[in-house]
Amino acid sequence: MTGEVRLTGGANPGFARGRRLRSTPAMRRWTAQTRLAPADFVLPVFVKEGISDAVPISSMPGVVQHTLDSLRKAAHEAAEAGISGLMLFGIPAEKDPVGSQADAADGIVNVALQQLRADLGDELVLMADLCLCEYTDHGHCGVVTPAGVVDNDPTLDRYAAVAIAQAQAGAHVIAPSGMMDGQVAAIRAGLDSAAFTETPILAYAAKYASGFYGPFREAAEGAPQFGDRSTYQMDPPNTGEALREVAQDLAEGADAVMVKPAGPYLDIVARVVDAVDVPVSAYQVSGEYAMIEAAAANGWIDRQRAVLESLTAIRRAGAGSVLTYWAVEAARWLR
């Protein structure tokens, strides 16, 4: 027919084309639509006060609670592997109801930040997780009332103080994870008042009340001593709520946002990426890590293949960076 253009691939194009483009490893690399690189990864690390040697975490094989010295060594290895940054969590020797060690100048995370910044300068992005659960004797993410309820507004005052202390210690990025209402606005105001106007905020904006955090609570020694966090973290069945939380954090001044967990919430990652024009991170949490490690240890899966596939899936959903306990190992596989 005159003027008609038809695109064909042979007598039966649909049957063979996919196979032709998957026929060799080189062909598959050529046609890959999602690629992993060391710079995609951020390594979460735990540093504990009062220990003389790194302490293995039983539920997370290969992950440890660091001493200050072992953390410095691990940070150098991370930089050499080419990953983007570290997310620091601290376990103090002393805990109290308001988490006073979180913003103490000699608090474990703040000392670690000072040392890492002196060692590495700007070679890695040093991210400071901002929450109180590791620092409070009750294990909740904020100040609690006598009735045992997390008190939002006094908690915001604590968060602002902690953010200033972390920035003073050398954090490049402040990452609030407590899921308090108004936390980003309070932290932004605190940082600006202390002349840290250029310090960005990576908000844990869509953080779910997940069953995948169990190993982390061993690692960070921050399990709630009563109740749970379902009233301030997000309910797993909900999607629209995540988009509202993200929008609120951006309106309050967040520079980037995070979805946590990553693997079970790839739909949320994709929805958030489609909705915003800022960097989106996703946190491959301790339970995701532990499941793959356990299955691999039993010989049920190919460990390296499963790890890289899980990371690729998170990037395929749209996350610009992935927080993962495999960051350094995966980076080395990719180089």
Give the type of residue at 184. V
How many Cβ atoms sit within 10 Å of the Cβ of residue 46? 25
- C-beta of residue 297 within 8 angstroms of C-beta of residue 11: no
CA distances from 158 to 146, 172, 245, 328 (A): 18, 20, 21, 33
User: What is the per-residue pLDDT for 140?
Assistant: 83
Instruction: Please state the length of the chain.
Output: 335
Is residue 48 flagged as an active site residue? no
Tell me if residue 260 is catalytic.
yes
Active-site pick, 48, 73, 95, 207: 207
Distances in Å between the Cα of 237 and the Cα atoms of 213, 243, 258 are 17, 13, 18
Distance, in Å, from the CA atom of 176 to the CA atom of 164, rounded to the nearest integer, reads: 12
pLDDT of residue 234: 84
User: Which SS3 state, helix, strand or coil, does residue 301 take?
Assistant: coil
Could you count the other beta carbons within 10 Å of the beta carbon of residue 159? 27
Q: Which two tokens stand for residue 151?
A: 């008190």
Domain ranges of the chain: 36-334
Task: Please answer whether residues 328 and 334 qualify as being in contact, where contact means their C-beta atoms are separated by less than 8 angstroms.
Answer: no
Q: Beta strand 85-91 with 125-130: parallel, antiparallel or unpaired? A: parallel
Active-site choice (48, 73, 95, 260):
260
Distance between first and last Cα of the chain: 53
Q: Which of 41, 189, 219 is nearest to 125 (CA)?
A: 41
Instruction: Average the pLDDT over 262-274 and give the result.
Output: 98
127/283 Cα distance (integer angstroms): 13
Does the pLDDT of residue 90 top 80, yes or no?
Answer: yes
Q: What is the pTM of this model?
A: 0.92
**What's the pLDDT band for 217 if we cut at 50, 70, 90?**
confident
Which of 14-23, 170-179, 264-273, 295-304 has the lowest average pLDDT? 14-23
Q: Which of 78-87, 129-138, 223-232 has the lowest mean pLDDT?
A: 223-232
**Which neighbouring-strand residues pair with 36?**
none
Q: What's the rounded Cα separation, in Å, for the pair 142 and 130?
A: 11
Sign, CA torsion 294/297/302/307: positive
What's the confidence (pLDDT) of residue 6?
54
User: Per CATH, which fold does 36-334 belong to?
Assistant: TIM Barrel (3.20.20)
Cα–Cα distance, 121 to 118 (Å, whole number): 6
Task: Report d(CA 198, CA 172) in Å as an integer.
Answer: 9
Could you read off the pLDDT of 123-179 as tens digits, one per residue?
999 999 999 888 998 878 888 888 888 888 999 999 999 999 999 999 999 999 988
